Structure 1
Amino acid sequence: MHFGLTEEQRMIVDTTRAFVETELYPHEALVERTGHLPMELIRELQKKAMEAGLYAANMPEEVGGAGLDTLSWLLYERELGRTNYALHWTCVARPSNILLAGTPEQREKYLMPCIRGETWDCLAMTEPGAGSDLRGMSASARQDGEDWILNGTKHFISHADVAGFTIAFLATGEEDTPRGKKKKITAFFVDKGTKGFTVRDGYRNVSHRGYTNSVLEFDDCRVPARNILGEVHKGFDVANDWLGATRLQVAATSIGRAQRALDHALSYAAERKQFGQQIGKFQGVSFKLADMALELKAAELLTYEAAWKFDEGSVTDGDMAMAKLKATEALAMIADEAIQIHGGMGLMDELPLERIWRDARVERIWEGTSEIQRHIISREMLRSVGG
């Protein structure tokens, strides 16, 4: 593993950071104040992101993306992660790579409009009664001739309000396992506007203002068999094949925000004076800065190593779980300590620290809670010794 960045990677970092600071930072206050990202602003920033070559950059070149290797993609995600989530996710969209698992017809209908910025995708897995235990989902689909009938409810579905379609994971049967019966899961494309498919407003969220969540309801919603993504009963297979790296994406965006918080803390510690000297020279502050830098570096190295191993074909679930766990917990610690160093001003909305602090909380929950990540890591360790 080489630690130096290539010239191309440095260019990706510089271009993305300049775009974030010039085009996205100026709109953070609006989104934070209103909790809303106007569509006219989205379209304006979308156009600029496309002109800068940043839109859908996670996609392969053959479908119009930038064709970035995993490390380059995460460096790009790190820079985008510095800003408000709604701004970078909606205006510099990265379509889910699970869309690449579709048939040629499905790619043309669902993937390509996302890459062109005409619409957005969303994934529907979580239910009110089934969070981490996706096999426990109750939303189901049954076959009826050439069609499937979908029923049930999903919630916490990110940006479903702007998405043109959802990829919904529903139970389509059961199988016997050593631990009892488990649901078989199938993934379906469901277009917005399909009869029996309703998107409702979700919950008011303390984290990531402007980045909405919705409740999806399926009430005898009929979709054709051609809308199945992958194979019947193989929804988990397609998810596992294509969605594992989303944990690395969360890690990378968390690192970006942690770096921004640390930068603010470092500058303030050098500028603010108390008792005749810079507060950064007091041990109570200097040790905080050292610990923050240490945690950030550890998170970066775990994330970049996982990215390198991903491209080498040797990454494990434990590698990605470690990166996600460390980065999200480091972000929480760094955001909290940055506020402590600033004192009362750290909680004022003149600075981004209170937002970073609030936004950090959800990172230890979505894409697998910290407890789930620890379970993945320990299970992999025990398996290696026959446990």
Structure 2
Amino acid sequence: MDFALTDEQRLIAETVSAFVTAELDPHADEVERLDEVPDQLARSIREKALAAGLYAANMPEEIGGGGLDAVSMTLVERELGKTSFALQSLVARPSNILQACEGEQRERYLLPAVRGERHDCLAMTEPGAGSDIRSMRASAVRSGDAYVLDGTKHFISHADMADFAVVFAATGSEETAHGPKSLITAFLVDLDAPGVEVRRGSDCVSHRGYHQCELAFTGCRIPVSQRLGEEGGGFALMGEWLGASRLQVAATSVGRARRILDLTLQWAAEREQFGRPVGRFQGVAFPLADMATELEAAELLTLRAAWKQDNGGMTDRDAAMAKLYASEALGRIADQALQTFGGMGLMAELPIERYWRDARVERIWDGTSEIQRHIISRSLLRPLGA
């Protein structure tokens, strides 16, 4: 197998790395302290990302996006993953599901999102429906030429900075081998529409400045023209368009793990105890070797899945393996880094405690580690009839 990147892919990675260093990293401490990205700073970063050609890199060229292949996007996410999530999210990658927009929806939602004029968020999770998406209770009932949406969504990332949401709601039910399950439909919902309330959620230990929110819908009328796809086809849309989000989490985890390892290596080489650098002691040196090995394995697994996606062969199992291993490797690497730094690793004076906190959510969002293991194990057993 040829593991070499093309010249263009190397240039993409170098360009994003330089952008992170010059435009994002200098503001990371301020965002961490404020738990906010100031409005003026957010506008400035978006404008610079647009000018640099980094905005909407995941979208096809024919609609104004960057048109990057999956491997190149993995490199972009890897480099962005080295800094504050609240800041890197401003170098926006509109949700791939917007490519399902048709007709007027393209002019109202898809194209403005690609141009950076409007910003989207995804609303699936509910207080009683996390991993079990088809148990959601938020409902959309047909009423003439509209649907009436009622219910609550929570853990909706950056809804406080979004103009509209792709909302998944139950529009009926069907009997399955496991009992009745909701039929899910997707809708494009403007967040300033009557009957929509956006609330900041509880403070989160991970990714300060990148807020999770609650969306409350009360008698919200959604024109049929804002239905995304067919009625009852929301679950299929998730499968078709949202699988790439697992690769994004994997790539981001790889980038953050690389930043953590670099900081830890520097500390181990410079910090002295008993008259020599702590990295000379096996108790520190051997874990460094394990960290580096896990990082390389995570990156190769992630790039392999992306390469398979580019060649039309990526399966749910490939994406699940990449997300599972990279996110869990990040957790282990962050924990070992903190141990190597000792007491200073827990101090806000250094970024290690931040990376340690931030690492925890990667094993939860976009499908928990348990969900990824379920996907993987079912793909192994199903061909055997088990």
- For this structure pair, what is the TM-score category when the shorter chain's length is used for normalisation? over 0.9
CA distance in 1, matches of 2:177, 2:369: 26
Which residue of 2 is the match for residue 125 of structure 1? 124
Question: What is the CA distance between 1:315 and its match in structure 2?
Answer: 1.1
1:15 alignment partner in structure 2 = 15
Measured in 2, the distance between the counterparts of 1:327 and 1:378 equals 18
- Residue 71 of structure 1: aligned partner: 71
Letter in 1 for 2:223: P
- Tell me the distance in 1 between the aligned counterparts of 2:78 and 2:28: 17
In the TM superposition, 1:63-102 aligns within 5 A as 63-89=63-89, 91-102=90-101
What is the aligned partner in structure 2 of residue 200 from structure 1? 199
Q: How does 1:226-241 map to 2 (within 5 A)?
A: 226-241=225-240
Equivalent residue letter for 2:9: Q
Distance 1:51 1:349 in 2: 34
* Secondary structure class of the residue paired with 1:215: strand
1:104-253 maps to which residues of 2 (within 5 A)?
Answer: 104-253=103-252
Specify the SS of the correspondent of 2:188.
strand
Opposite residue 292 of structure 1, the aligned amino acid is M
Structure 2 counterpart of 1:297: 296
Letter aligned with residue 64 of structure 1: G
Distance in 1 between residues matched to 2:273 and 2:216, nearest whole Å: 57
Deviation at 1:350, TM superposition (A): 2.7
Deviation at 1:58, TM superposition (A): 1.2
Aligned equivalents of 1:129, 1:178: Cα separation in 2: 21
Between the two proteins, the alignment pairs up a number of residues equal to 386
**Deviations 1:15-55, CA, capped at 9 Å, x for gaps:** 10011011111101111001011111011111111121111
Aligned partner of 1:305: which letter?
Answer: R
State the alpha-carbon separation in 2 of the partners of residues 271 and 230 from structure 1: 57
The one-letter amino acid paired with 1:285 is V
TM-score (norm. length: structure 1)? 0.98
Q: CA deviation at 1:319?
A: 0.8
Identity over the aligned pairs, expressed in percent?
A: 62
Compute the displacement of 1:266 (Å).
0.7
SS of 1:186's equivalent in the other structure is: strand
Counterpart Cα distance in 2 of 1:376 and 1:310: 17
Amino acid at match of 1:232: E
Find the aligned partners of 1:365 and 1:207 in 2 and give their Cα distance.
Answer: 11
Give CA-to-partner distance per residue, 1:159-181, whole Å, 9 cap, x none. Answer: 11111111110000111112221
Structure 1 CA distance for aligned equivalents of residues 279 and 10 of structure 2: 30
The letter for the 1-side match of 2:220 is: C
8 A Cα contact 1:119 1:162, kept in partner: no
* 2:40 is aligned with 1:40: yes
Shift of residue 329 of structure 1? 0.5
Checking the alignment, whether the CA contact within 8 Å between 1:56 and 1:66 is kept in structure 2 is yes
Residues 215-269 of structure 1: CA distance to partner in whole angstroms, max 9, x if unpaired?
1111111011010001000001111100001000000001100000000011111
CA distance in 1 between counterparts of 2:103 and 2:30 reads 40
Q: Structure 2: state its 5+ residue gaps.
A: none
CA distance in 2, matches of 1:3, 1:153: 46
Farther off after superposition, 194-203 or 162-171: 194-203
Question: Runs ≥4 in structure 1, deviation > 6 angstroms?
Answer: none
Shift of 1:283: 0.5
- Indicate the SS of the match to 1:384: helix
Distance 1:120 1:347 in 2: 35
Helix, strand or coil at the partner of 2:148: strand
- The superposition leaves residues 122-144 of structure 1 with CA deviations (integer Å, 9 ceiling, x where unpaired) of 11000011110011111101101
Residue 18 of structure 1 aligns to which amino acid in structure 2?
A: A
Equivalent in the alignment of 1:381: 380
Q: SS of 2:206's equivalent?
A: coil
Q: Distance in 1 between matches of 2:31 and 2:370?
A: 31
Bigger shift: 231-240 or 346-355? 346-355
Is the partner of 1:325 in helix, strand or coil?
helix
What does the per-residue CA deviation read over 1:183-238, in whole Å, with 9 as the maximum and x for residues that have no partner?
10000111122111111121110100000111111111101101000100000111
Secondary structure of 1:296 counterpart: helix
| Preserved CA contact (<8 Å) 1:36 1:210 | yes
Query: How far apart are 1:384 and its partner, in Å?
Result: 2.1
Which residue is equivalent to 2:358? Answer: 359
Question: Any unmatched runs of 5+ in structure 1?
Answer: none
